[in-house]
Structure 1
Amino acid sequence: MIREAHVNGIKLVYREEGDPASPPLLLIHGRTANHNDWNGITQHFAARYRVLALDLRGHGASDYPGSYAVTEMAEDVVALLDHLGIERATLIGHSLGGVVAYQVAMNHPERVERLVLEDAPPPLPFKNRPPIVEDDSTGFDWRMMHQIERQLVDPDPAWMEGLGKITAPTLVLSGGKQSHVGTEAVAARIPGAQLVTIEAGHLIHVNARGPFLEAVDAFLNG
């Protein structure tokens, strides 16, 4: 079921599957993607969770307000939880979605039951990143691409400090040698985080869906 919520001054579109009485689980896609990125994943979790998969601001059918701070995206997530009357949720975030998820976990620890970060970039300066070149790709706001890039290349030092304050049980999934991200640095910083490496590159849930689901299930059931 596709729904929309007017929260934090914008329209957010999200997909909902599973029993509304089940524990809530929120899936947060990566940059340029949308809720459809989780097709096949949502159905797996909907057997025992109330699954929510949103389109972040600047993506998919959600609003393109022109303002794309990662911290704003995290506040959008919290506002969506408020709108739905959800006190605590499990968050699963891929790439940019993982950065948004760890922002929620560090700034609103009481809202996060468990945290899964799939190949989420660490808040460390990126060296030698090629510049973004716009093409005819659609389905997202190019302004978002440029603004997010600046934040990922030169992140706020407070983010690294914030990772150390995360209290939710955390699973960090690395795509291994084929990934450009280096999410191991995130796992090293979050207290008690489990690190699981799946040699699948950056898109673990796409390239290795079985091992991805196996690792996440083991963590969520643990």
Structure 2
Amino acid sequence: MELIVNGHTTYAYTGGKPLDAAKPTVVFIHGVLNDHSVWILQSRWFANHGWNVLAIDLPGHCKSAGKAPATVEEAADFVVALLDAAGVQKAALVGHSFGSLIALETAARAPERVSHLAMVGTAYPMAVSPALLDSALNAPMKAIDMVNVFSHSMMAPPPSSLGPGTWLYGGSRALMRRVLASNREVNVFHVGFNACNDYANGEAAIAAVQCPVLFLLGAADQMTPPKAVKSLSAKAPSSKTVVVQAGHALMSEAPDDVLFALRDFLAG
């Protein structure tokens, strides 16, 4: 599905289903150097179980035109504009990594538009090492290899992910290279990492959130380890935390566990 958001074409995967105003809506927001496809199992399941699904490519990424968001705040404004363009008054937001910060900031800025907030593979602050920032800018292929080592805790996923024999490292590298190549005007790798590193409104934002909150974390996550969410969870005492056996690439390493956690959370 294509929507015109802020004057530019935005791609949203709907699971093959048309938007239905009578159904609840869930928006899936990807992380740095990813696209809508990282949510393939989860988005298709929700699309076939009574939900409108908008699994987006952020602006300047793959199938979406426009300027890649340089800050979390800028990306949050885009999500609100996306809801307007889709004619959706209220939606559940599910974000991974960079996307989790975008979802958080959106829920704080427009609480009346967000029914649920699920932060997957998240941390605050989401600091990025100077070495990784430098590599993302000056040696992106090297940085892609670094991120893949940090992001994965297994070589091949369970059968319900992309299928038996899928090579997580190779598949992820190919996706990241494709996303990087999709924007010839700006290095979305470095821009995204900078946005994560510079975001300083997390604690104020979580205090302003008015909807149910889920922290969905990977026990073996080296990028955003579970302990790194404590500053947010402490300010959201009624939130729920689920830890699954996975690294930072939760959606592919623990696809069923991630799906079931989201299913149970959004059913509430």
Q: Considering the TM-score relative to the shorter chain, is it more than 0.5?
A: yes
Shift in Å, 1:16: 1.7
Structure 2: distance between partners of 1:73 and 1:163: 17
Asked whether the equivalents of residues 216 and 243 of structure 2 are also in contact (C-alpha less than 8 Å), the reply is yes
Any idea what SS the aligned residue of 1:139 has?
helix
1:17-48 CA distances to partner (integer Å, 9 max, x unpaired)? 34613111111111111111111222211111
Asked whether the equivalents of residues 218 and 244 of structure 2 are also in contact (C-alpha less than 8 Å), the reply is yes
Match among 171, 177, 182 for residue 137 of structure 1? 177
Question: Measured at CA, do residues 123 and 106 of structure 1 come closer, stay the same or move farther in structure 2, by a change above 3 Å?
Answer: farther
Q: Percent identity?
A: 29
1:58-113 CA distances to partner (integer Å, 9 max, x unpaired)? 21111152552221211111111111111110111111111111010011111100
State how 1:88-167 maps to structure 2 within 5 Å: 88-123=90-125, 125-126=127-128, 129-130=131-132, 131=134, 132=136, 133-135=139-141, 137-140=177-180, 141=183, 143-156=187-200, 158-167=201-210
Q: Which runs of 4+ in 1 moved over 4 A?
A: 124-129
Q: Please give the root-mean-square deviation of Cα atoms over the aligned residues, in Å.
A: 2.1
Asked whether the equivalents of residues 72 and 199 of structure 2 are also in contact (C-alpha less than 8 Å), the reply is no
Gaps of 5+ in 2: 142-175
Query: Which stretch shifts more, 158-167 or 102-111?
Result: 158-167
Match among 137, 159, 169 for residue 212 of structure 2? 169
Shift in Å, 1:150: 2.2
Per residue, is there more strand in 1 or in 2? 1
Match among 217, 239, 260 for residue 214 of structure 1? 260
Per residue, is there more helix in 1 or in 2? 2
Q: Which has the larger radius of gyration?
A: 2
Shift in Å, 1:203: 1.2
Aligned length: 219
Structure 1: distance between partners of 2:245 and 2:263: 18
1:184 alignment partner in structure 2? 229
TM-score, length-scaled by structure 1: 0.89
TM-score, length-scaled by structure 2: 0.74
Structure 2: distance between partners of 1:190 and 1:144: 31
1:26 alignment partner in structure 2? 27
Q: Relative contact order (alpha carbons < 8 A, sep ≥ 6): 1 or 2 greater?
A: 2
1:43 alignment partner in structure 2? 44
